[in-house]
Amino acid sequence: MKIALVGYKKQEKFAQGVTNDEDADLLNYLTEKGLNVVPAIWNDDRTNWSTFNVAIIKSPWDYHNHLAEFLDWLNKLEKLKVRVFNPAEIIQWNSNKKYLRDLAQNGLPVIESEYLDQGSSFDDRFFDLFGTDQLVVKPCVSAGAQNTLTVNKNNLKERTEEIEQLLQSEDYIVQPFVEEIKNGEWSFLFFNGQYSHCSLKKPKKDDFRVQHYHGGTISYPTPDPIHIEQAEIYLKSLPQATLYARVDGVLVNNSFQLMELELIEPYLFLNGDKNLLENYYQALMALISSTDGV
């Protein structure tokens, strides 16, 4: 069995096996376990995908800038009978933040959201709608806080002009700014539906972006078991099993509320920990050996 561990073009050094990061750690661990795992770039025309039995969608971190091409590539893998983890259907659904609306309609706790279609207008109605003085506006297809803006009544005019320009090219999501983000965003990691570990990302002072490249910090606290159970509920709503899932959210009145369900290319905070790598390996083997094709 030949397995592709899929990344993106800026990881060319990873594809050549000369870097040291989470993907390299995972590649080495799976290889040591006896699996035939090959690093691959999702949009590399030189790759013969028909030679693979399995494709692990690990870190195609530029997919959101090439979404149509990315989804076409996933469809190609399915036609070639390559088993994809996570499943292509799940990835397609998760690629647009409108999936949050589906989860909310299923009665799951999700940060309130409204959606602006491409070519529509933005105005101040959302302040009253959400009962807030500050909004977060971001693309429905995005990653890493790309084109994410905060809007308050002081910068409304300036931001409205900027958002209306952005709306010319894509759909956007509008949410109330959640003050609890200042206490950190929790990320619960699950492999094949089983809880593995968690991280807590905190933004730097006077910022809301928790990513480390925006100045955020990461810690690894022991979570309350109740919050693990609350995070797990979102996975139970999915129609198919997933190799990996990162459930991101905040604690509001000590109850977990979803911000993002990351099912495409999340960083997994494996940190070279063999116990966590083993969790991943066991999940992968269980799915590969499953009789229903995942």
Answer yes or no: are the C-beta atoms of 13 and 21 closer than 8 Å: no
Q: How far apart are CA 99 and CA 261, in angstroms?
A: 9
CATH topology of domain 2-85: Rossmann fold (3.40.50)
Q: Which CATH class is domain 114-177?
A: alpha beta
pLDDT beneath 70: ranges in the chain: 11-20, 144-145, 204-215, 291-294
State residue 290's pLDDT score: 85
State residue 265's pLDDT score: 94
Joined tokens for residue 219 = 């810690």
Q: How far apart are CA 159 and CA 263, in angstroms?
A: 30
All structural domains of the chain with their residue ranges: 2-85, 99-108+180-281, 114-177
Answer yes or no: are the C-beta atoms of 280 and 244 closer than 8 Å: yes
State residue 17's pLDDT score: 52
State residue 203's pLDDT score: 74
Query: What is the SS3 assignment for 265?
Result: coil
State residue 18's pLDDT score: 44
CATH superfamily of the domain spanning 99-108+180-281: ATP-grasp fold, B domain (3.30.470.20)
Q: How far apart are CA 83 and CA 95, in angstroms?
A: 19
Name 250's bridge partners: 257
How does pLDDT run across 235-292, given as a tens digit for each residue?
999 999 999 999 999 999 999 999 999 999 999 999 999 999 999 999 999 999 985 4
DSSP 150-215: EEESSSHHHHHHHHHHHTTTS-EEEEE--GGGGG-EEEEEEETTEEEEEEEEEPPTT----SGGGT
State residue 207's pLDDT score: 60
State residue 20's pLDDT score: 47
> Which helix (H) or strand (E) covers residue 2, if one does?
strand 2-7
